[in-house]
């Protein structure tokens, strides 16, 4: 159905659903459940972070102070605004305007790149300062806390980074197909789900930022 | 009665009062389970026979439960389970409340042997000797992976965790030899990480330990277990003084009460320490070990957090030795000697 | 499996056009099918192979334990054997067997749907299963792991054996399980045929639904935990390494936070099967439909808060322990409710003692004792003696082998006519059932006593005094194995030569029987409309709707 110029609603209906509403409902529900599992994936890491934060309060506080808060802040702003542009993209999809969707998804994609850029700056700084996890730690902080902090720091931000990359890929593909007019006002669920996923990536960062940078 | 049930259930001999109490609960649990299960199966069996299919065209009446049925289904088991819990929980709590006058033994698991150290000596491998009728508290740790210290005859088991101390206690009241198993899988020879608990009449024990401390290596009983090794006697306290000097603790800690980079160790043990956080903790074994392994965790009020961690630099027995050394630094009772009543307040002391 | 019926047989009600021969029959048509029935069948074949593999490991274990000292293998091999036995049986057999196998086949049929909500996802989940299995098998061939299926740190992060492939295998299998669960939840919510209200949902569906909830909520945590261990092993970041300030017990909390709910992933589907079987063979409405349905959700919910009962001896504070202890007691209540309701269902029924029902009887017996010993273990002071002894081994085999495997076999016999259109030999069925049940008791009752006597688990060699009971256990295991082997043989025979069963040999009211056997690819030619629940057998209940009239009982070989 990729090249269909203006597809009719019927052409989207899979054989085993008897109505498009049901199919849409199923798709949405499925996506939400999937997002739930994603959240739980991170929850495990957050729990670990909480435990060690409790065990090594001082060390963690000290290590956390060592992070460049402004980068974290900038990245937060970037992601939040990218979420906003994604929302706009979806808005255009509901109007059946695939081109508009494409432009705004492209914008979000670029902001994703900016985010990763800042991450790169941050990481490379850590590498030079020898602020690495576990036995690789060569920073100046004493005690077992700091290496542990950086282990969790890299795990959490790293896993989130992977999600950003995946999210960008999804936005790229869906945005491109939307531009090719693959969706219609009657049916634009993929656009919507892609948006949902990006919002999740954003949301998780909203948790990560205060947890690691601020407290 | 007790003995009969014990044999039917293949339970090992009971070497302590606690073991007898646990078994009593055991009997109760098994009997009630059997009765309850018998009830369920009797009902089922009766239905099988009474309501077996007679013709292929049978139709059955629509039977729906009344609320009381479901209430019974919930209430019956619930009452029973809660009763079990009400008996079992206090016993479990009791295991974590060693009496104040308990005698301490440091237990260290390592692949694949048990090492026992008495404050003030001696050390022994694989054979733990304790006096009958006196409470004994085990401070258990591991040198490598997780092990678990298990004496079936006492119904007592406690995991040995690397890098931290756990505790359990017992009062064996029947002299004799009992098996010690390692029950946490710890690698190749997990199944041969066996030990032996020798419960001796108190007088005999006192004599034995006195001789050990005098440095005599005397195999106590006529038939020394093959493979039993008793290390040359040495006092944990002296050991501790040595290690503390070697590790440079004394560069920062005085033993005569004068303030230094770090707080003095004299009269440290058992004192209520005010921390930078404002909390006060009592300096017991757990706290002291923690302070070495992770000094940053609770910094003492009025001091900088400059003490390096000794995690991995102090082996558990060395740490234990230092703790004993610190314990011995009391203006009241200076010098070596068996450890005093431990102030281990992990949970509210019982009345 | 593609039996070609003769013309004579077609007359007797073997659906000529069915999911086995259409749209196509070639292997390729199976490998890229979207048909939930074919995917279910493929899962059943795969998990049965896994069961055999794990069983062979088990038998070697039993032979090794025949004598106190070394018998057939060395200590290192033994340690790998029980690890692989545990991993294979749990991750490759027990967790997918009933939900992904029978669940896939039956869920849409029971909902009057054409397929699951996401057929492609469904196939993906099967291939993830194969991938996970492949990775795990690679690990087993290249040295295997010797950590026990619990992967406790710091041993699992320091041992020299191939732990990482096994971890990754389990990790991938986790995703397979997540996708299936997600698929089933969405299907249950969105694919129900008209008239199929939640109040009329087959109990099978209720229970599978509860299972799916656990699968998607608990499994991600396991995935993360296994990943952390892998990272720890590969790079030594020290998350669980005490020498770097890591906390080894934290791993145990993570692991059991998944693995206790996981035990309900293993038993809820069994309960799903039993609820159907007990109604069909006592030809009687379930006693307390609501109670049985909601108790599944209760188990799913409370089951998330009892994981600490695996850590009673790990030095956790007595208060924490107490909370986990009492919660473990509560979760038991829900199972008790089910047991009582199943038993009460028999009252004034019309009971026919066919093979599936025989397995139901075994199930009931094993679940009560397996469960009650679970509660006994949750009675904390007793657990201090029993922890990591053979008592625990006996406890979980009573439930996992005793209850769940009996349910698996019950399901196999009950739905074989629907899946293959053919009947198994009743006589052999009963013989095998008796052997399995008796053999099982001989295998695991002695292990309870061994536990009392204090024999620790994961022991390659043991003191003389444990000898007699171990011999008994091994003897029992061989009977059990022979019984299962008989099942395997006659099931394979029945698939090709079994007598034609007809659409509804049991005269069951279950919805899945309203369609021909084997079912056509689209399940129902017209979407059914439901006017009654699936468990109603009284004279007032309206007859079987939108489907085939009851066929006569099948003849037997
Ligand atoms: C399908 C698997 C399954 C199931 C369903 C259960 C169910 C339960 N389990 Fe079990 N368990 C395991 C699999 C399972 N378990 C495994 C694999 C291990 C070991 C892991 C390892 O270390 O390798 C384990 C270990 C284990 C332990 C830790 C033992 C130890 O290592 O020290 C405990 C402790 O509390 C426990 C408790 C329970 C409880 C309370 C239930 C409850 O859900 C049981 C509820 C059922 C009932 C209560 C029966 C019904 C009751 C009646 C019909 C009442 C009628 C009778 C009367 C009224 C008298 N289990
Ligand atoms: C579903 C889970 C499951 C199942 C089914 C089994 C089945 C069996 N288990 Fe296992 N077992 C575990 C899960 C399971 N086990 C786990 C999790 C552990 C802990 C591991 C650890 O410590 O880490 C364990 C540990 C364990 C031990 C303890 C090892 C130790 O601690 O040292 C022992 C010892 O006797 C044992 C024995 C058996 C036996 C005799 C069977 C028998 O029931 C096997 C019988 C089956 C067969 C012989 C296969 C024959 C099958 C066919 C021929 C195909 C059938 C065909 C059809 C149905 C169509 N198991
Ligand atoms: Cu040490 Cu097992
Ligand atoms: Cu559990």
pLDDT in tens, C319-359: 999 999 999 999 999 999 999 999 999 998 889 899 999 99
Q: Are strands B103-110 and B113-117 parallel, antiparallel or unpaired?
A: antiparallel
Contact B309 A57 (CB under 8 A): no
Q: Which residue has the least CA distance to atom 23 on ligand 1?
A: C150
Q: What is residue B215's predicted lDDT score, i.e. its pLDDT?
A: 60
Q: What is residue C553's predicted lDDT score, i.e. its pLDDT?
A: 39
Q: Cα separation of B235 and B322, whole Å?
A: 11
Per-position DSSP letters for C118-187, written without gaps between them: -HHHHHHHHHHHHHHHHHHHHHHHTT---STTTT-TTHHHH-SS-HHHHHHHHHHHHHHHHHHHHHHHHH
Is B48 in contact with C346 (CB distance < 8 Å)? yes
What residues form DSSP beta bridges with B124? B116, B230
Best probe residue, ligand 1, of C377, C391, C407, C444 (max atoms within 8 Å of C-beta): C377
Q: Cα separation of C370 and C402, whole Å?
A: 8
Window from A116-120, A141-145, B269-273, C239-243 with minimum mean pLDDT: A141-145
Q: Is A60 on the interface with B (CB under 8 A)?
A: no
List, as ranges, residues 68-107 from C with C-beta within 8 Å of B. Answer: 75-76, 79
Contact A48 C185 (CB under 8 A): no
Q: Is B21 on the interface with A (CB under 8 A)?
A: no
Q: Is B309 on the interface with A (CB under 8 A)?
A: yes
Q: Is A8 on the interface with B (CB under 8 A)?
A: no
Contact A143 B308 (CB under 8 A): yes
Q: Which residue of B has its CA nearest to C83?
A: B185
Q: What is residue B325's predicted lDDT score, i.e. its pLDDT?
A: 83
Q: Cα separation of B350 and B86, whole Å?
A: 17
Q: Cα separation of B121 and A95, whole Å?
A: 85
Q: How far is the CA of B148 from the centre of ligand 3 (A)?
A: 6
Query: Between residues C2 and C87, which one has the greater pLDDT?
Result: C87
Q: Cα separation of A36 and C211, whole Å?
A: 16
Judged by phi (left if over 0) then psi (alpha if -120 to 50, else beta), residue B122 lies in: beta
Q: Cα separation of A53 and A51, whole Å?
A: 5
Residues 6+ apart with CB under 8 A from B317: B106, B108, B115, B117, B123
Q: What is residue B348's predicted lDDT score, i.e. its pLDDT?
A: 32
Please give, rounded to a whole number of angstroms, the shortest distance from the CA of C11 to a CA of chain B: 23
Q: State if residue C51 touches ligand 2 by the CB under 6 angstroms criterion.
A: yes
Q: Which residues of B touch C325 (CB under 8 A)?
A: 85, 88-89, 92
Q: What is residue A9's predicted lDDT score, i.e. its pLDDT?
A: 58
User: What residue has token string 């074949």?
Assistant: C45
The tokens describing B16, both together, are 């302590």
Q: How far is the CA of C299 from the centre of ligand 2 (A)?
A: 25
Helix axes A69-94, A98-128, angle to 10 degrees: 170
Over residues C253-282, the pLDDT tens digits come to 999 999 999 999 999 999 999 999 999 999
Is B177 in contact with B195 (CB distance < 8 Å)? no
Q: Cα separation of A11 and A53, whole Å?
A: 54
Q: Which residue has the least CA distance to atom 49 on ligand 2?
A: C55
Task: Please state the separation of Cα C166 from the chain's center in Å.
Answer: 21
Nearest atom in ligand 2 to the alpha carbon of residue C480 is 45
Put the strands of the sheet holding B127-131 in their side by side order: B127-131, B195-200, B176-182, B147-151, B156-160
Confidence of residue B345 (pLDDT cuts 50, 70, 90): very low
pLDDT over 70, % of chain A: 95
The tokens describing C34, both together, are 């979207």
Angle CA(C16)–CA(C22)–CA(C27) in degrees, nearest 5?
125
List, as ranges, residues 187-226 from C with C-beta within 8 Å of A. Answer: 187, 189-191, 216-217, 219-221, 223-225
Q: Is C248 on the interface with A (CB under 8 A)?
A: no
Is A213 in contact with A67 (CB distance < 8 Å)? yes
Kindly list the protein residues whose Cβ atom lies closer than 6 A to any atom of ligand 1: B 32-33, 36-37, 40, 76-77, 80; C 150, 263, 266-267, 309-310, 328, 331-332, 335-336, 339, 368, 371-372, 374-375, 377-378, 383, 386-388, 392, 395-396, 399-400, 404
**Does B168 have pLDDT greater than 80?**
yes
Q: Are strands B176-182 and B147-151 parallel, antiparallel or unpaired?
A: antiparallel
Window from B74-88, B264-278, C206-220, C447-461 with minimum mean pLDDT: B264-278
**Does B148 have pLDDT greater than 80?**
yes
Q: What is residue C539's predicted lDDT score, i.e. its pLDDT?
A: 62
Q: Which residue of B has its CA nearest to C79?
A: B188
Please give, rounded to a whole number of angstroms, the shortest distance from the CA of C33 to a CA of chain A: 14
What residues form DSSP beta bridges with B138? B105, B168
Q: What is residue C486's predicted lDDT score, i.e. its pLDDT?
A: 96
Residues 6+ apart with CB under 8 A from B57: none
Q: What is residue A14's predicted lDDT score, i.e. its pLDDT?
A: 74
Contact A56 B297 (CB under 8 A): yes
What residues form DSSP beta bridges with B52? C351
**Does A185 have pLDDT greater than 70?**
yes
Model confidence, pTM: 0.85
Q: Produce one character per residue of B105-140: b if its CB has 16 or more CB atoms within 10 Å, e if not.
A: bbbbbbbbbbbbbbbbbbbbbbbbbbbbebbbbbbb
Q: How far is the CA of A132 from the centre of ligand 3 (A)?
A: 33
- Going by C-alpha positions, the residue among C36, C134, C37, C38 that lies closest to residue C92 is C134
Q: State if residue C366 touches ligand 2 by the CB under 6 angstroms criterion.
A: no
Q: Which residues of B touch C156 (CB under 8 A)?
A: none
**ipTM > 0.90, yes or no:** no
Q: State if residue B185 touches ligand 3 by the CB under 6 angstroms criterion.
A: yes
Q: State if residue B112 touches ligand 3 by the CB under 6 angstroms criterion.
A: yes
Per-position DSSP letters for A99-132, written without gaps between them: HHHHHHHHHHHHHHHHHHHHHHHHHHHHHHTT--
Confidence of residue A7 (pLDDT cuts 50, 70, 90): low
Please give, rounded to a whole number of angstroms, the shortest distance from the CA of B11 to a CA of chain C: 5
Which DSSP category does B190 fall into? G
Please give, rounded to a whole number of angstroms, the shortest distance from the CA of B296 to a CA of chain A: 7
User: What residue has token string 């404050």?
Assistant: B119
Q: Is C347 on the interface with A (CB under 8 A)?
A: no
**In whole numbers, what is the pLDDT of chain B averaged over residues?**
82
Tell me which residue in C244, C348, C452 faces B10 most closely, judged by beta carbons. C452
Q: Cα separation of B294 and B304, whole Å?
A: 14
Q: What is residue C471's predicted lDDT score, i.e. its pLDDT?
A: 96
- Going by C-alpha positions, the residue among C555, C522, C286, C309 that lies closest to residue C417 is C555
What residues form DSSP beta bridges with B103? B136
Contact B296 A55 (CB under 8 A): no
Angle CA(C512)–CA(C218)–CA(C235) in degrees, nearest 5?
135
Contact A143 B299 (CB under 8 A): no
Nearest atom in ligand 2 to the alpha carbon of residue C401 is 5
Contact B294 A142 (CB under 8 A): no
Longest dimension (CA), chain A: 66
**In whole numbers, what is the pLDDT of chain A averaged over residues?**
87
The tokens describing A19, both together, are 């109505």
Contact A41 C220 (CB under 8 A): yes
φ/ψ of B198, rounded to 5, equals -110, 110
Q: How far is the CA of C373 from the centre of ligand 1 (A)?
A: 6
- Interface contacts (B, C; CB < 8 Å): 276
Over residues B15-66, the pLDDT tens digits come to 999 999 999 999 999 999 999 999 999 999 999 999 988 877 777 888 888 8
Q: Is C228 on the interface with A (CB under 8 A)?
A: yes
Three-state SS for B275? strand
Q: Produce one character per residue of C182-192: b if its CB has 16 or more CB atoms within 10 Å, e if not.
A: bbbbbbbbbbb
Q: Cα separation of C162 and C169, whole Å?
A: 12
Q: Which residue has the least CA distance to atom 1 on ligand 3?
A: B147
Q: Cα separation of C334 and C322, whole Å?
A: 20
Q: What is residue B55's predicted lDDT score, i.e. its pLDDT?
A: 77
Residues 6+ apart with CB under 8 A from B34: none
**Does B332 have pLDDT greater than 60?**
no
Ligand at minimal distance from the CA of B32 is 1
The tokens describing C355, both together, are 């093979």
Cis peptide before C401 (omega within 30 of 0): no
Confidence of residue A4 (pLDDT cuts 50, 70, 90): very low
Q: Are strands B147-151 and B156-160 parallel, antiparallel or unpaired?
A: antiparallel
Cis peptide before C518 (omega within 30 of 0): yes
Ligand at minimal distance from the CA of C95 is 2
Q: What is residue C324's predicted lDDT score, i.e. its pLDDT?
A: 95
Q: What is the dihedral of CA C252, C257, C263, C264, to 10 degrees?
A: 170
φ/ψ of A180, rounded to 5, equals -80, 5
Tell me which residue in B305, B308, B311 faces A58 most closely, judged by beta carbons. B305
Q: Which residue has the least CA distance to atom 45 on ligand 2?
A: C55
What residues form DSSP beta bridges with B110? B113
Q: State if residue C52 touches ligand 2 by the CB under 6 angstroms criterion.
A: yes
């Amino acid at each position: 159905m990729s090249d269909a110029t203006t597809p009719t609603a019927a052409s989207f209906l899979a054989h085993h659903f008897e109505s498009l509403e049901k199919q849409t409902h199923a798709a949405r529900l499925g996506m939400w459940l999937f997002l739930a599992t994603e959240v739980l994936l991170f929850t495990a890491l957050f729990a670990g972070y909480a435990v060690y934060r409790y065990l090594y309060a001082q060390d963690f506080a000290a290590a956390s102070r060592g992070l460049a808060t402004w980068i974290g802040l900038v990245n937060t702003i970037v992601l939040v605004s990218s979420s906003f542009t994604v929302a706009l993209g979806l808005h255009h999809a509901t109007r059946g305007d695939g081109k508009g969707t494409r432009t705004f998804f492209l914008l979000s994609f670029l902001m994703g790149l900016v985010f990763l850029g800042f991450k790169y700056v941050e990481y490379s700084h850590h590498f030079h300062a020898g602020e690495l996890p576990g036995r690789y730690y060569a920073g100046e902080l004493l005690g077992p806390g700091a290496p542990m902090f950086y282990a969790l720091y890299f795990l959490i931000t790293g896993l989130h980074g992977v999600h950003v990359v995946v999210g960008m890929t999804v936005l790229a593909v869906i945005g491109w197909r939307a531009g090719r007019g693959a969706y219609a006002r009657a049916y634009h669920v993929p656009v919507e789900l892609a948006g949902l996923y990006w919002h999740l990536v954003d949301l998780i960062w909203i948790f990560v930022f205060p947890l690691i940078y601020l407290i | 009665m007790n003995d009969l049930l014990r044999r039917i259930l293949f339970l090992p001999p009971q070497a302590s009062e606690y073991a007898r109490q646990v078994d009593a609960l055991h009997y109760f649990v098994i009997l009630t389970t059997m009765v309850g299960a018998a009830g369920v199966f009797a009902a089922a069996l009766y239905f099988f026979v009474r309501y077996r299919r007679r013709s292929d065209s049978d139709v059955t009446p629509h039977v729906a439960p009344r609320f009381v049925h479901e209430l019974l289904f919930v209430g019956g088991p619930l009452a029973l389970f809660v009763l079990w819990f009400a008996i079992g929980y206090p016993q479990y709590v009791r295991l974590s409340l060693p009496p104040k006058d308990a005698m301490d033994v440091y237990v260290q698991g390592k692949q694949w042997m048990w090492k026992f150290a008495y404050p003030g000596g001696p050390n022994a491998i694989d054979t733990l000797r304790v006096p009958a009728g006196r409470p004994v508290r085990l401070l258990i740790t591991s040198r490598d992976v997780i092990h678990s210290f298990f004496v079936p005859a006492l119904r007592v088991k406690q995991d040995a965790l690397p890098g931290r101390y756990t505790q359990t206690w017992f009062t064996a009241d029947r002299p004799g030899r009992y098996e010690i198993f390692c029950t946490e899988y710890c690698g190749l020879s997990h199944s041969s990480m066996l030990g032996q608990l020798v419960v001796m009449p108190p007088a005999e024990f006192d004599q034995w330990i006195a001789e050990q401390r005098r440095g005599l290596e005397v195999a106590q009983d006529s038939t020394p277990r093959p493979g039993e090794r008793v290390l040359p006697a040495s006092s944990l306290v002296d050991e501790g003084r040595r290690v503390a000097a070697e590790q440079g603790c004394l560069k920062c800690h005085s033993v005569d009460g004068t303030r230094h980079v770090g707080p003095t160790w004299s009269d440290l043990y058992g004192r209520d320490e005010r921390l930078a956080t404002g909390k006060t903790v009592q300096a017991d074994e757990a706290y002291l070990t923690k302070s070495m392994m992770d000094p940053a965790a609770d910094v003492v009020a009025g001091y900088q957090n400059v003490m390096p961690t000794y995690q991995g630099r102090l082996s558990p027995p060395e740490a234990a030795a230092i703790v004993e050394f610190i314990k011995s630094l009391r203006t009241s009772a200076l010098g070596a000697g068996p450890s005093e009543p431990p102030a281990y307040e992990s949970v509210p002391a019982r009345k | 499996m593609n039996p070609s019926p003769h013309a004579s047989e077609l007359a007797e009600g073997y659906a000529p056009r069915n999911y086995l021969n259409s749209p196509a029959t070639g292997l390729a048509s199976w490998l890229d099918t979207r048909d939930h029935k074919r995917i279910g069948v493929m899962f059943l074949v795969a998990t049965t192979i896994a069961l055999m593999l794990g069983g062979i490991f088990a038998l070697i274990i039993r032979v090794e334990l025949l004598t106190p000292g070394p018998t057939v293998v060395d200590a290192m091999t033994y340690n790998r054997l029980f690890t692989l036995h545990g991993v294979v049986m749990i991750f490759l057999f027990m967790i997918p067997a009933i939900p992904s196998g029978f669940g896939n086949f039956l869920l849409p049929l029971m909902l009057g749907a054409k397929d699951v909500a996401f057929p492609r996802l469904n196939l993906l989940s099967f291939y993830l299963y194969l991938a996970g299995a492949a990775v795990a098998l690679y690990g087993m061939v290249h040295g295997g792991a010797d950590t026990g299926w619990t992967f406790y740190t710091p041993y699992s992060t320091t041992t020299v054996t191939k732990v990482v492939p096994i971890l990754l295998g389990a990790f991938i299998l986790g995703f397979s399980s997540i996708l299936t669960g997600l698929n089933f939840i969405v299907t249950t919510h969105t694919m129900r045929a008209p008239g199929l209200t939640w109040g009329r949902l087959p109990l099978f569906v209720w229970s599978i639904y509860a299972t799916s909830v656990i699968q998607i909520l608990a499994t991600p945590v396991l995935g993360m935990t296994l990943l952390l261990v892998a990272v720890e092993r590969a790079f030594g970041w020290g998350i669980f390494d005490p020498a770097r300030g890591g906390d080894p017990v934290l791993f145990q909390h993570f692991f059991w936070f998944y693995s206790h709910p996981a035990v309900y992933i293993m038993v809820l589907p069994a309960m799903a099967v039993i609820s159907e079987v007990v109604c069909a063979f006592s030809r009687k409405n379930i006693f307390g439909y609501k109670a049985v349905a909601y108790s599944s959700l209760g188990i799913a919910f409370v089951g998330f808060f009892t994981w600490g009962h695996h850590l009673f001896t790990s030095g956790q504070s007595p208060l924490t322990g107490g909370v986990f202890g009492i919660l473990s007691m509560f979760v038991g209540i829900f199972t008790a409710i089910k047991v009582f309701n199943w038993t009460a269902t028999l009252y004034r029924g019309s009971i026919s003692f066919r093979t599936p029902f025989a397995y139901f009887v075994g199930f009931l017996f094993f679940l009560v004792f397996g469960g009650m010993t679970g509660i006994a273990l949750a009675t904390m002071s007793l657990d201090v003696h029993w922890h990591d002894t053979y008592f625990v081994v006996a406890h979980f085999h009573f439930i996992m082998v005793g209850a769940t495997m009996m349910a698996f076999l019950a399901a196999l016999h009950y739905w074989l006519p629907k899946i293959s259109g053919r009947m198994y030999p009743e006589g052999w069925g009963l013989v095998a059932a008796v052997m399995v049940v008796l053999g099982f008791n001989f295998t695991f009752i002695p292990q309870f006593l061994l536990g009392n006597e204090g024999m620790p688990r994961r022991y390659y060699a043991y003191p003389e005094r444990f000898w007699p009971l171990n011999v008994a256990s091994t003897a029992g295991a061989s009977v059990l194995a022979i019984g299962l082997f008989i099942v395997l043989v006659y099931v394979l025979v029945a698939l090709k030569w079994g007598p034609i069963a007809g659409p509804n040999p049991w005269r069951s009211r279950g919805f899945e029987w309203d369609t021909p056997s084997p079912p056509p690819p689209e399940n129902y030619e017209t979407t059914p409309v439901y006017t009654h629940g699936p468990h109603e057998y009284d004279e007032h209940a309206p007859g079987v709707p939108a489907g085939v009239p009851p066929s006569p009982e099948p003849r037997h070989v």
